Chains A and B, each alone.
Chain A
């Protein structure tokens, strides 16, 4: 067991350092911080709302992640397949599950770093007023788990192609579908012709409805279970796809 975790950790370590070996990490972190604060202050009207909370900050996260998580995760497998290093990895004494989990965790921890770097916004709101910090903490946790689900989806889809740009596009489109599933526009269109349970299933698959609930400070276990199940499902498919596509 120890050896099993150790190998997963070595992969995680290599991947996480990999983000910082190129300017990719700094660019990503800058873009993330610029966009998340820009959206909070300009689109979210942080000051005009005159409320000591971070709703204006968190409500943009699903949309931000829609683009940024595929940008982080697109290289995970597409690049291994393009450069042929997948052959090195798979002939090492490790399982595909260790490889998939190690790589995924690296990208997930990277987003944790990005989220931690948004702390100045949290400090600002505490400086200006008296927010409910529990709600903020829950929102941060929810945001990180939602990012994990987006990343697992991207990681899984990035096996399908050797081209990072294609991996980015298909991941963004799939993420968009998963967000839109919660929109009334989509739901009402489905509701008009389908039984109720289908509408509810589609709605329950939505990242947006789950995240909205968490963002309101409702520590809903089912939402965390939803995001965790999404991650496990996507990573399981990821392992199968690696096995299937490795030699293509």
Chain B
């Protein structure tokens, strides 16, 4: 069986007394997009720096496409494209020169370099900025240049440290589409603290905090695993007095029924149950008996954000 593209075992890294990464295991296969989630200072960037060979782990080992990164770093690094945090680049160089420089350093021949440069200009929409110095580009374009340099040698592995940080919503959307587009035959690791990003592009989410790996599963499984309590929320545009409130609570046979004032003329009924999903038809029938005007009814979906908070802070 061929090795996983990334196979990191028991990674440990400390800076003086501070343990940045503590026994992290990570395997990523071709076709996977792994989202690295964690609060600031959790050890995401340190882990990525170790995977790319920038930092040496104190303990543990990393195999890149089966090659030991420690004993054969030059060979292993050939398989990796890396966008460091903040997408650093040589700001005085023009875009095409900068990408050529990285391409040459990656060992591309003149012919394949010129092909790849053309592909990058198209794929990453850099044509209009091609002859401009990097320092004159907007943040969004600088980030694209960063992605282009990571992709220039068409690597099997792509490691992107906060690729959408600081981009506007349109640029974020574009970046996510791009990641999805190129993800088919690569192993991609992206770090982020934007949870919707993980839901949007990742096939697997890894949550780390204080250097420890706390969860490693598909976003969907994490949702199911960590909080399966479904809550039905119904918004009413009528006043609910105490009598009606009591009647509704007693008529609905669920673990928890809460009635809260939302604003001057609106109330919210929250129905939750750990064992069974509240049936929306039954609930609405009961409410209709009181001639209340329902303006909205939906399930409060448990999102990754709640899971993230509950895992990383230990609070629900």
B-binding residues in A (CB < 8 A): 3, 7, 10-11, 14, 18, 21-22, 83-85, 87-88, 90-95, 246-247
The 6 closest A-B pairs by CB, nearest first: A84-B88, A87-B84, A93-B77, A91-B52, A93-B74, A85-B88
- Chain A contacts for B186, CB-based, 8 A: none
Q: Shortest beta-carbon distance, A94 to chain B, in Å?
A: 7
The CA-CA distance from A88 to B53 in the complex, in Å, is: 11
The CA-CA distance from A91 to B75 in the complex, in Å, is: 11
- Chain B contacts for A83, CB-based, 8 A: 88, 90-91
Is the Cβ of A10 less than 8 Å from the Cβ of B88?
Answer: no
5 contacts between A and B (CB under 8 A): A14-B90, A84-B85, A84-B88, A247-B49, A247-B55
Is the Cβ of A88 less than 8 Å from the Cβ of B89?
Answer: yes
Q: Is chain B's binding surface mostly helix, strand, loop or mixed?
A: loop
- Chain A contacts for B52, CB-based, 8 A: 91
- Chain B contacts for A10, CB-based, 8 A: 101, 104-105
The CA-CA distance from A247 to B84 in the complex, in Å, is: 12
Is the Cβ of A3 less than 8 Å from the Cβ of B88?
Answer: no
Q: Shortest beta-carbon distance, A107 to chain B, in Å?
A: 16
Q: Is chain A's binding surface mostly helix, strand, loop or mixed?
A: helix
Q: Please give the number of chain B residues whose Cβ is less than 8 angstroms from any Cβ of chain A in the complex.
A: 28
The CA-CA distance from A246 to B295 in the complex, in Å, is: 59
- Chain B contacts for A90, CB-based, 8 A: 53-54
Known A-B contacts A21-B93, A85-B89; A91 and B82 likewise in contact (beta carbons under 8 Å): yes
Q: Shortest beta-carbon distance, B152 to chain A, in Å?
A: 11
Does B119 lie at the interface of the complex (its beta carbon under 8 Å from any beta carbon of A)? no
Is the Cβ of A91 less than 8 Å from the Cβ of B54?
Answer: yes
- Chain A contacts for B91, CB-based, 8 A: 83
Q: Shortest beta-carbon distance, B53 to chain A, in Å?
A: 6
Known A-B contacts A3-B107, A10-B104, A85-B89; A93 and B54 likewise in contact (beta carbons under 8 Å): no
Known A-B contacts A3-B107, A93-B78; A88 and B88 likewise in contact (beta carbons under 8 Å): yes
Is the Cβ of A88 less than 8 Å from the Cβ of B74?
Answer: no
Is the Cβ of B80 less than 8 Å from the Cβ of A94?
Answer: no
Known A-B contacts A92-B106, A94-B74, A246-B54; A84 and B92 likewise in contact (beta carbons under 8 Å): no
The CA-CA distance from A72 to B90 in the complex, in Å, is: 17
Q: Shortest beta-carbon distance, A67 to chain B, in Å?
A: 23
Does B233 lie at the interface of the complex (its beta carbon under 8 Å from any beta carbon of A)? no
Known A-B contacts A247-B49, A247-B55; A88 and B75 likewise in contact (beta carbons under 8 Å): no
Quick one: CB contact mask for B68-102 with A, threshold 8 Å, 1 for yes? 00000111011010101110111111000000011
Does B149 lie at the interface of the complex (its beta carbon under 8 Å from any beta carbon of A)? yes
The CA-CA distance from A119 to B104 in the complex, in Å, is: 35
- Chain A contacts for B74, CB-based, 8 A: 93-95
Chain A's closest residue to B159 (CB) is A91
Known A-B contacts A10-B101, A246-B54; A87 and B88 likewise in contact (beta carbons under 8 Å): yes
Quick one: CB contact mask for B138-160 with A, threshold 8 Å, 1 for yes? 00000000000100000000000
Is the Cβ of B92 less than 8 Å from the Cβ of A94?
Answer: no
Is the Cβ of B84 less than 8 Å from the Cβ of A88?
Answer: yes
Q: Shortest beta-carbon distance, A75 to chain B, in Å?
A: 11
Is the Cβ of A94 less than 8 Å from the Cβ of B105?
Answer: yes
Is the Cβ of A93 less than 8 Å from the Cβ of B84?
Answer: no
Q: Shortest beta-carbon distance, B254 to chain A, in Å?
A: 53
- Chain A contacts for B49, CB-based, 8 A: 87, 247
Q: Shortest beta-carbon distance, B237 to chain A, in Å?
A: 54
Chain A's closest residue to B86 (CB) is A84
Known: A87-B49, A93-B107. 12 other contacts (CB 8 A): A14-B93, A21-B93, A22-B92, A83-B90, A88-B102, A90-B53, A90-B54, A92-B102, A93-B73, A93-B77, A247-B49, A247-B55
Q: Shortest beta-carbon distance, B84 to chain A, in Å?
A: 4
Q: Shortest beta-carbon distance, B144 to chain A, in Å?
A: 15
The CA-CA distance from A21 to B55 in the complex, in Å, is: 31
Is the Cβ of A91 less than 8 Å from the Cβ of B53?
Answer: yes
Q: Shortest beta-carbon distance, B43 to chain A, in Å?
A: 14
- Chain B contacts for A246, CB-based, 8 A: 54
Is the Cβ of B84 less than 8 Å from the Cβ of A84?
Answer: yes
The CA-CA distance from A90 to B73 in the complex, in Å, is: 11
